[in-house]
Amino acid sequence: MNFSFTEEQDMLRISARDFLAKECPKAKVREMARDERGYDPQMWRSMAELGWMGLIFPEEYGGTNASFMDLVILMEEMGRNIVPGPFFSTIALCALPLLEYGSSGQKTKFLPQIVQGEGIWTFALVESSGKYEASGIKLGAVLKGTNHVLQGYKLFVTDAHVADHIVVAGRTGEGKRPEDGITLFIVDVRASNVKIEEIPTIGGDRQFKVSFDSVVVPGDDILGKIGDGWAIVDLVLQRAAVLKCAEMSGACQAVLDMTGSYAKERIQFDRPIGSFQAIQHKLADMLIDVEAVQYLLYQAAWGISIGSPSPWQISAAKAKANEAYQRICIEAIAAHGAIGYTMDHDVGLYYRRVKAAQFAAGDTDLHREVVVTELGL
């Protein structure tokens, strides 16, 4: 057993932290929350030049073939700095399944673009049920000649307004189980008449309703096999749950760090408030939460890294992160007092992003169900 990162992994973390401290201060996070695109294309290009988009992709697509754990480390740092933009949508939700399930033609065409920072992608799954469940997939896909025609809409699609491609889960048939008959389509946004309307959120991120009114998808633009899409969705959600968990882990650590510093500096009753047990014990609880998230995350990520993912350990990590991230933010605001409730303070930036993070790649109920099923229930 070994709980330490490699030297290269430590270097990756340090260089990511340095880059983001310079390029992604909280002023940038605030600015991007108001920006129409929601991300800074110049920073996006720099990230690509640093090799972040290509981190875990094979060299043949321009990547550096690093491990899944390396991506987790990078995304912890991104979460720590609340990096705005479509990195999670593009890499976690789309590029990873493209690598695993894409045809060689799709991979050769799309992956180098993504690795170079020139492709922005997102995944359209959830519909009116608001749940990541197969029974919620109603968007119809009807075969016409060699093409499919999509009819329906998707909700809470992240970064759809800047995406050039959207992977859409549609229903091409009905089977015994709701999982049967789901197909994943690759929709070229510029070449089709999808309608994109913003769903304003409390987090300052970008989410959309995406409507498909007789959108024609050419026969080749299918990810995986017709009718077998849910197996891919399942795997996408597992990988994405771990990567979202990594962002949340970094965010939790950042909130703990800022609260610890504040508790040492803030003087009341002639002493630092961190000397009061009411504050100190709150911080100790936060630390235990942070480390629980970290070790569950590393366990889940390690499983994926060695090619032996454990779905229930993945779900344990995400469910724990969902609960812990929220609690840590709430406790941090309480420890800060009124200043923590202001627009100027950073802690609110994290708190406002809790909800989006909780629902991304499966809410707590979904992941608890995976865990409890493992118990034989």
Partner 1 sequence: MDFRLGEKELALKEEIRKFAKAELPPDLVRNTVIDGEFRDFDFEISMSRKLARRGWLVMSWPEKYGGRDASLLEQTIYEMEIAYWGIPGAWMGISGIQWVGPCLMMFGTEEQRGKYLPLIASGEKDGVWCTGYSEPNAGSDFANIRTRAVRDGDDYIINGQKVWTSAAHRARWCWLAVRTAPNATKKHQGISIFIVDMKSPGVTVNPILNYYGRHHFNEVFFDNVRVPASNLVGEENRGWYYLMQSLAFERRSIAPTTYGSLKRILEELAKYAGQTEYEGQPLSKNPVVRAKLADLAINLEALKMFAFQLAWRISQGQIPIYESSRNKIMGDDLMKQGAITGAEILGIYSQVDPDSEWAKLNGAIQGAYLGFPGQAIAAGTAEIEKSIIGQFRLGLPKSY
Binding site for partner 1 (CB under 8 A): 1-5, 69, 260, 263-264, 271-272, 274-277, 280-281, 283-285, 287-288, 291-292, 295-296, 298-299, 302, 313, 316, 319-320, 365, 368-369, 371-372, 374-377
Shortest reach from residue 235's CB to partner 1, in Å = 21
Amino acid at 188: D
Kindly tell me which of 151 and 280 has the beta carbon lying closer to partner 1.
Answer: 280
Shortest reach from residue 4's CB to partner 1, in Å = 7
Question: What are the φ and ψ backbone dihedral angles of 369, each rounded to 5 degrees?
Answer: -60, -40
Shortest reach from residue 317's CB to partner 1, in Å = 8
Asked if 61 contacts 185 with a C-beta cutoff of 8 angstroms, the reply is no
Kindly tell me which of 1 and 343 has the beta carbon lying closer to partner 1.
Answer: 1
Among residues 240, 21, 211, 105, the alpha carbon closest in space to that of 29 is found at: 21
Shortest reach from residue 77's CB to partner 1, in Å = 17
Shortest reach from residue 337's CB to partner 1, in Å = 17
Asked if 77 contacts 13 with a C-beta cutoff of 8 angstroms, the reply is yes
* Tokens describing residue 279: 């504050």
- 326 alpha carbon, distance to own chain's centre: 16
Kindly tell me which of 29 and 371 has the beta carbon lying closer to partner 1.
Answer: 371
Contacts of 219 (CB under 8 A, 6+ apart): 145, 146, 147, 148
How far is residue 296's CA from residue 301's CA, in Å, rounded to a whole number? 9
Asked if 217 contacts 150 with a C-beta cutoff of 8 angstroms, the reply is yes
Kindly tell me which of 82 and 319 has the beta carbon lying closer to partner 1.
Answer: 319
Kindly tell me which of 122 and 313 has the beta carbon lying closer to partner 1.
Answer: 313
